[in-house]
Amino acid sequence: MFAGAFSCFSKHGILLIYIVHQSVGESLLIHKTVGDSVELPGPSHLQEFGVTSVVWKYGKRYVAEYYSDVKYLPGSPLEGRLEMNSKNFCLTVKDLKLQDSGTFFVTGEWAKGQIPTKTFTLKVHEPVSNVVIIDKVQLLANQSCSVQMMCNSSGSSILNYTWKRGNETFRGNQQMQFHLSPAEGPINLTCNASNIVSEKSTSTTVICSTATVPPGSLVSISLFRVLCGLLVVSPFLLVSIILMLKYCRAEGLCSTVKSPEETLQCDDVIKQTESSL
């Protein structure tokens, strides 16, 4: 029964089709990608009995018909992208768009009466693209790291996410959080984003280092570098620098936390600056 129906797909192949039997005829669910073409099979298995008419309907609108020849009906959102085969009555929809998702019906008449209606539900999806991993590694007081991962990707369809960490696989979550110790070394993580028509992956490496800047230190280090840079480059701003440093100290922003290259504390800068006036 299905030999004629599936012959229509021989040119382009079937991506994913689920077949459901219904009392009124056949129903097929078809998934396709934006930009693809889809061929919907007509009642070709009845061709030998003499099909006299075939009509195709998209939603509530008739879009194509065959009596003695093929005719496309105007006003359809698919206008200009349809092609109906006059021998097996397949209907091809070209250059698929997201809004083409919908239901198609085909029926007609043959020598013995009405042709049973076939129903096709078409779902058009965007391909997955631009998969990006955003990571945040934070050094904790116990010298281990808290690692937070986020996987982002484009595609309007519902996406499924799978994480791989070494030989472990974690499914279903867009985010991933775990703890890492310096002894574990570099860890490779891969995020796979997929929908029913496509998938895409990207990888990154995270490491826990005791050199990782703990929360709150970034402000102190950055401020220290700015102030010291201004002191060297522009002596005319000494007064302003003194005021800024005193504000820094008063607000508790000055810290003895330094990078390995910096050994001068904020208090030292204040003393040297004041003595130069």
Q: What is the mean pLDDT of residues 248-264?
A: 49
Q: What is the pLDDT of residues 112-122, one digit of tens each?
A: 788 888 999 99
Establish if 212 belongs to a structural domain. no
The answer to whether residues 159 and 143 belong to one domain is yes
- Reply yes or no on whether the pLDDT at 263 is more than 90: no
Backbone region of residue 195 per phi and psi (left: phi > 0; alpha: psi in -120 to 50; beta: other values): beta
Record the pTM.
0.61
What pLDDT is attached to residue 17?
38
Question: Could you give the count of Cα atoms lying within 13 Å of 104 in the half-sphere of its Cβ?
Answer: 26
Establish if 196 belongs to a structural domain. yes
Query: Where does a domain end: 179, 206, 233?
Result: 206
The rounded distance, in Å, linking the Cα atoms of 149 and 165 is 12
Domain that holds residue 27: 3-125
Q: What is the pLDDT of residues 217-238, one digit of tens each?
A: 433 434 444 454 445 445 555 5
The answer to whether residues 42 and 58 belong to one domain is yes
Which residue, 149, 112, 115, is CA-closest to 133? 149
- What CATH number corresponds to the domain at position 144? 2.60.40.10
Which residue, 121, 122, 120, is CA-closest to 42? 120
Number of structural domains (the chain) is: 3
What pLDDT is attached to residue 14?
35
Q: What is the pLDDT of residues 161-202, one digit of tens each?
A: 999 998 889 988 899 999 999 999 999 999 999 988 999 999
The answer to whether residues 168 and 184 belong to one domain is yes
The answer to whether residues 161 and 267 belong to one domain is no
- Reply yes or no on whether the pLDDT at 18 is more than 50: no
Within 8 A by CB and 6+ apart from 175, the residues are 148, 149, 150, 151
The answer to whether residues 150 and 105 belong to one domain is no
Q: What is the pLDDT of residues 79-114, one digit of tens each?
A: 999 999 988 889 999 999 999 999 999 998 887 788
Q: What is the mean pLDDT of residues 148-159?
A: 83
